[in-house]
């Protein structure tokens, strides 16, 4: 049973068959919930927990952790097209370690300041090291980009360079040499992910569906497909269009680079779909933001398989690894 099944099975709202309250625009199941503000805006709200030993290694640099804990939550807002406002921090620590707290706060507030998010509340308690951040944002009413809006014929796009964080983790765990030319960049991507907030906002009105890649490109693509309306969709990914070259140029063995790009978690790039008519506009937007945007495939009416890889030689293959599940740990690095 995976994380999503857990939530859906046990926490299906028993009031779901009743009319939703007027303040609730979108509940469980997307990157964030949407609450109506009745003033032309909606509040986007999301929370994520990071547990030591699962989402970060024991001994992780606390400054990097502070940054990342907030960044991953802001990434969920980016995936809705929302602008961050405030956040709450629930911090559980084995002891009140002052140097640790100082460094953690430095990283946290660096990310907060960079992205305009304000700490508005929280809780501190003793226990096994873990933290939950609840992030709030705003999006013009009706303009949030949901997971559920994908259509047959849409192009499939991904921002930036997915795969770097997984390679960075492999370097940190000693599975790849730290002397590789890409090692520093990969570790930076792992430690200080950049939520794609500017991109998310600018894709309002352009993207039909969007989510952020936290569990691996294929795993999160599956979540997007599962949310699409009947008669459902299949994603065809053109391997030749994947941004593999920069990873290989950084020294990653090609097979490892491919696995990292398709299945490595923790990159927090945006995966989105859009009409083919929007291609030029999207490429222009990427250039404007200085962020490569790769058109990696398209969505077609559902076939026997939800995802198909079209290899450079034209063969069609099925992906094997479907992304990282934080609850089941279906996959382990290295």
Q: Binding site: what residues are annotated?
A: 31, 46, 48, 55, 76, 122-123, 147, 212, 214-215, 266, 324
Token output for 135: 């992030």
Tell whether residue 330 is a contact of a second copy (CB under 8 A).
no
User: At closest approach, how far in Å is the CB of 101 from a second copy?
Assistant: 4
**Which residues line the annotated binding site for Mg(2+)?**
31, 46, 48, 76, 123, 212, 215
Total residues contacting a second copy by CB under 8 A comes to 69
Give CA–CA dist 243/298, Å, rounded: 16
Token output for 87: 């956040």
Tell whether residue 51 is a contact of a second copy (CB under 8 A).
yes
Give CA–CA dist 163/261, Å, rounded: 4
Q: Which stretch binds a second copy (CB under 8 A): 113-121, 160-168, 186-194, 291-299?
A: 113-121
Token output for 5: 């099944």
Collapse the DSSP code of 125 into the 3-class scheme (helix H, G, I; strand E, B; otherwise coil) and give the result.
strand
Q: Which stretch binds a second copy (CB under 8 A): 33-41, 180-188, 237-245, 262-270?
A: 33-41
Token output for 156: 């499939």
Cβ neighbours for 11, distance < 8 A, ≥ 6 positions apart: 28
Strands of the sheet containing 293-301, edge to edge, are 207-213, 269-274, 155-159, 293-301, 233-238, 307-310, 316-317
User: At closest approach, how far in Å is the CB of 238 from a second copy?
Assistant: 33
Q: Which of 57, 128, 184, 287 lies at the binding interface for a second copy (CB under 8 A)?
A: 128
Token output for 47: 């929370």
Residues that bind a second copy (CB under 8 A): 1, 3, 6-7, 9-11, 13-15, 20-21, 23-24, 27-28, 32-33, 35, 37-39, 41, 43, 45-49, 51-55, 85-86, 88-90, 92, 96, 101-102, 104-105, 108-109, 112-113, 118-128, 130, 132, 134, 136, 138, 326-329
């Amino acid at each position: 049973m995976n994380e999503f099944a857990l939530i859906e099975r046990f926490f299906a709202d028993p009031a779901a068959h009743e009319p939703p309250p007027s303040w609730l625009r979108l509940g469980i199941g997307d990157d964030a919930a949407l609450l109506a503000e009745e003033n032309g805006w909606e509040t986007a709200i999301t929370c994520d927990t990071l547990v030591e030993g699962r989402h970060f290694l024991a001994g992780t640099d606390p400054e990097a952790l502070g940054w990342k804990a907030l960044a991953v939550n802001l990434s969920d807002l980016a995936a809705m097209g929302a602008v961050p406002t405030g956040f709450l921090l629930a911090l559980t620590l084995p002891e009140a370690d002052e140097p640790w707290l100082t460094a953690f706060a430095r990283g946290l507030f660096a990310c907060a300041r960079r992205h305009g998010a304000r700490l508005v509340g929280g809780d501190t308690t003793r226990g096994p090291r873990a933290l939950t951040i609840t992030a709030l944002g705003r999006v013009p009413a009706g303009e949030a980009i949901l997971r559920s809006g994908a259509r047959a014929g849409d192009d499939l796009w991904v921002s930036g360079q997915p795969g770097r964080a997984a390679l960075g983790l492999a370097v940190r765990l000693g599975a790849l040499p730290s002397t590789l030319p890409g090692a520093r960049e990969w570790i930076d991507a792992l430690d200080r992910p950049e939520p794609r907030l500017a991109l998310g906002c600018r894709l309002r009105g352009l993207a039909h569906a969007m989510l952020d890649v936290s569990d691996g490109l294929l795993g999160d693509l599956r979540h997007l497909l599962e949310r699409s309306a009947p008669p459902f969709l299949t994603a065809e990914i053109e391997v030749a269009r994947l941004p593999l070259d920069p990873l290989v140029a950084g020294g990653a063995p090609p097979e490892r680079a491919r696995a990292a790009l398709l299945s490595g978690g923790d990159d927090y790039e945006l995966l989105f779909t859009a009409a083919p008519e929007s291609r030029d506009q999207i490429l222009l937007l990427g250039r404007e933001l200085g962020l490569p945007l790769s058109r990696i495939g398209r969505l077609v009416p559902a076939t026997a398989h939800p995802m198909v890889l079209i290899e450079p030689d034209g063969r069609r293959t099925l992906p094997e690894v479907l992304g990282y599940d934080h609850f089941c740990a279906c996959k382990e690095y290295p």
